[in-house]
Chains A and B, each alone.
Chain A
Amino acid sequence: MLFPTTVFAVFFLCVFSGSWLLAERKTLWKCYLLICSYVFYGWWDWRFLSLIVLCSLVNHAAAIGLSRVMRTRSRRSILTAAILCNLGVLGFFKYYKFFVLSAYATLHQVGLSCSLPLLDVVLPVGISFFTFQAMSYVIDVYRKDTEPAQSLLEFSTYLAFFPQLVAGPIVRARVLLPQLAGGLDRRHIDAGRASSLILAGLFKKTVVANTLSQCLVDPVFEDPSAFAGPDVLLGVYGYAVQIYCDFSAYSDIAIGVALLLGIRFPANFNAPYFACSFRTFWQRWHISLSTWLRDYLYIPLGGSRGASFRVSRNLMLTFLLGGLWHGAQWRFVAWGALHGFYLLGERMLTRVGVGAPSPRVGGRRPGWVGRGIAWVIVFHLICLSWVFFRAENFADAWLLLGRFGDWKSATLWTIPTVGMLLVGFAAQALDGTRMAPVWNWLNRQSFLLHGGIVAIILTIILGLGPQGVAPFIYFQF
């Protein structure tokens, strides 16, 4: 069930009505949300519901165990078992084929041949998101950062809550569980913010991402040899804007939908391409994943403390695994490695006084020329990393990069295409709280005007977008 479809609209109206009717009866309300979330997930493939139910059972049992057992050694064993269970599920469904094929290729290269069992495993939608959420919950309970959920029902609702189930944001237990336990507030539903976010998400996905994908990105990446350097460059810019618009659109719609149900999610994007350093970029791009990796991987590995070699190792490991999280292919690992190198390079340059110094070391903020140069370099290096992320394989990525040597006349640099690219880039201005005046203005309007304005803008968005509904890019992860 995709967000920008009539089926989802009908589904959401049912959820909205039922959720608010049952809001006073907390247990029934959670039950209803859970059933709706399972219907949402089962719409794709009902067989995988058992997986999410199993995940809920195992992690809830682990959390209860962690809250009751006092011995450090036993607690550590429970935590290890729960993490292994989650990683086992993720590893089997997402990485089994990748590891078998990689092992086979390695053995073949060293002259050994053996037949490894190769199963055709279907990747369940959203598995990377809900397993990471489950792991963060168990680790937080182990660290005593959060209390375990009051019941299995509450935890299952947290894990399966449909707005963020298939493509995030990865919402921490300490954010969502208290809201589920506390019930809903009928007096302050931030409908202005919710409708603005949903409309912004629909615009970014339906108009910008789908159009760029059809008219620019897909043709360039499918057959780079048919295009000259300037067109390939535009295609790479196009993909950078497309993936931002696509993924941030999903997050915006998820946050908006949850808000209409009285639940607040943290922001997942904050104008990432406006960043003048890689460090800032990662504070603004897929915030829920980058903070997850920081809190549960980078810091436990040692973080920024210790010798330079150890910090570099921690950073590279975090980004290599972050890349692998996106997909079971070496090109995603390469994407992660590139970002790891970028951050290492930036760290080194900052130490010798080049680039944007960290405010933590008391550095002076560079002038606008310096920031402009830094922005150009950072943005283009990020675009370079997207080439490996988007290309089907390394050969295609190198072929595409090789086309930059052929600087013939451009055919794709038309006003509508470049205009759409710029609109998508400018759409970052909608992130964060920059639109707060619009939210407040909408909240102050009469219900007739509010509903009418939103309907008219929706109609314009649907009219401007291409026919058909393309799935969100992050569904595959």
Chain B
Amino acid sequence: MDSNAQNIEEERVQINAGRDLSCVTRSLIVFVLFSVLLNASGLQRSASLLPFGPRRRICMALTRPVAAASAHLHADRLRLWFERFSASEGQYHD
């Protein structure tokens, strides 16, 4: 076990790849904010497909203002463009 742990530690040092935790956390926060903004319309659509009940109400209440902000900033265009593209190419969407 000790030798295994040592090997893995050596491998980590050898690879020396990657970044520190604070940088990864900041990247993740940026990713989440960007993703939510870029995909707000899709999130709202998914929320609207949930069965009626408190979960749907909460999801709709959370996604509605984000979708509105996304539409206002035209951030939803990228996904809509690709959705239209894939639908016209192969009728992949329902």
Contacts and interface: CB of A to CB of B under 8 A. Distances in A.
Contacts of B85: 463-464
Nearest to A20: B21
A450 B27 contact: yes
Contacts of A414: 90
B27 A463 contact: no
B78 A467 contact: no
Interface in B1-34: 1, 4-5, 7-9, 11-12, 15-21, 23-34
Contact of A147 (B1, B83, B86): B1
Contact of A447 (B4, B23, B39): B23
Nearest to B88: A416
Contacts of A174: 1, 4
Interface residues of B, number: 46
A182 B1 CA distance: 10
A260 B78 CA distance: 27
A188 B38 contact: no
B35 interface: yes
Contacts of A260: 24
B81 interface: yes
A463 B18 contact: no
A466 interface: yes
Nearest to A260: B24
A426 interface: no
Contact of A181 (B1, B26, B90): B1
A366 interface: no
Contacts of B29: 451
The dominant DSSP class at the A interface is helix
A459 B39 contact: yes
Nearest to B35: A455
Contacts of A468: 94
Given A188-B15, A188-B16, A182 B93 contact: no
Interface string A442-468: 010001101110111011101111111
Contacts of B24: 189, 191, 260, 447
A185 B42 CA distance: 36
A27 interface: no
Interface in A255-292: 260, 264
Contact of A146 (B1, B26, B30): B1
A455 B90 CA distance: 25
B12 A188 contact: yes
B52 interface: no
B2 to A, nearest CB: 8
Contact of A460 (B82, B90, B93, B94): B82
B80 interface: yes
A20 B93 CA distance: 39
B46 interface: yes
B31 A192 contact: no
A451 B27 contact: yes
Residue of A178, A181, A460 ringed by the most chain B CB atoms within 10 A: A178
Given A189-B18, A464-B83, 19 more contacts: A13-B28, A20-B25, A175-B4, A178-B4, A178-B8, A185-B12, A188-B19, A189-B24, A191-B27, A211-B92, A416-B90, A440-B17, A450-B31, A456-B78, A459-B82, A460-B78, A462-B42, A462-B79, A466-B94
Interface of B: 1, 4-5, 7-9, 11-12, 15-21, 23-35, 38-39, 42-43, 46, 78-83, 85-86, 89-90, 92-94
24 contacts: A13-B32, A16-B28, A20-B25, A146-B1, A179-B5, A182-B8, A188-B15, A188-B18, A211-B90, A215-B90, A416-B90, A417-B90, A439-B17, A440-B17, A443-B19, A450-B30, A451-B26, A455-B35, A456-B34, A459-B39, A463-B81, A463-B83, A464-B82, A465-B86
